[in-house]
Structure 1
Amino acid sequence: MAALLAAEFPQGLPAAVLAEAVTEALVGEQRTVKQLVERVERRWLLWSYEDHAASESGPGLDRPVGVLLTLLGPSACWGNHARCEDGVDLDSGLVCPRCEEARQDRAAELRAESRPELGSGYAVPFQAPRREPSPYVRCTACAVKMMPADDGLCGDCREDAAFLSAAGPR
């Protein structure tokens, strides 16, 4: 990633943007430098940025500064727990209890949405309306679709039959 950043910013990275992201992580989130480095390394691998960077046939990393800011960015704790780091409580090293509770609540909501309650107004599964049978039939000689005729022939086949019968045997 360093090579991509150097290629995109030969004069150096935009210091104000990076300083703001690092300051927010260190001061605003109260993380140590070690924790921040671990966050970047973990996300680099888990979020497949390494694969994209090494890919020769894929899209690669189009915006390396955006990737860096994403790697430095705050953890999205489902329960807004300040000590949660991507679903793990930093103090205990266990799954963040607030994230786990939020996941369970969301799973329960999804189960409730997918299962209708009795008497909730759901009707029988949709059935297509019955259609009247088609009034069309196929010509017995050429199989073209046509309205029914007494002799079972379409107009063209009837004309051909009349012509052949008028011409007589050869």
Structure 2
Amino acid sequence: MPASDEVDFALAAYRDEGVWQVAELTPDHAVDVETLAAALRRFPGDGGAVGLVAVDEDFFVLVRVSGPRTRVMLSDVSAATEWELAADVVEHLGLPLVAEDDDAEPAGDLELLADLGVNAMTLAEILDDDELYPDEMLSEVARGLGFGDLFDDVVGLTSA
């Protein structure tokens, strides 16, 4: 289970009557996919809710729930060798654990946000930018979805 100080942030984003809302989740919601999905299901939303979790400036997890369906994406599959949350995502996806020296590759559903405005190609381009930290990558995702400034305000990123 990750210590609270290892979770940089855990957020829920959802559209309510077409307007994006962002709510902070506690680090305790970011212990595994099921706990995070359960926390996201309590939010209303047109098309479900999206969870955005960044851990120790190392990786991030996107979780989208809509009804009983849970879709997940991990920014770096190699993080599963060090982090319980990443290992849980890999297990949830039914993937084998990777070796510690494997390349940093995303895993999971890269299309989970396509209907909201961020398709797999756009997400892959964001993930390929070696200059960005996970919070900055998620800021770009949030910008593509239409709530970048709100996301930046909540997590304390300054706009460039």
Check whether TM > 0.5: no
Structure holding more strand per residue: 2
- TM-score relative to the length of structure 2: 0.21
State which structure, 1 or 2, has the greater radius of gyration over its C-alpha atoms: 1
Structure holding more helix per residue: 1
- TM-score relative to the length of structure 1: 0.21
| Structure with more relative contact order (C-alpha pairs < 8 Å, separation 6 or more) | 2
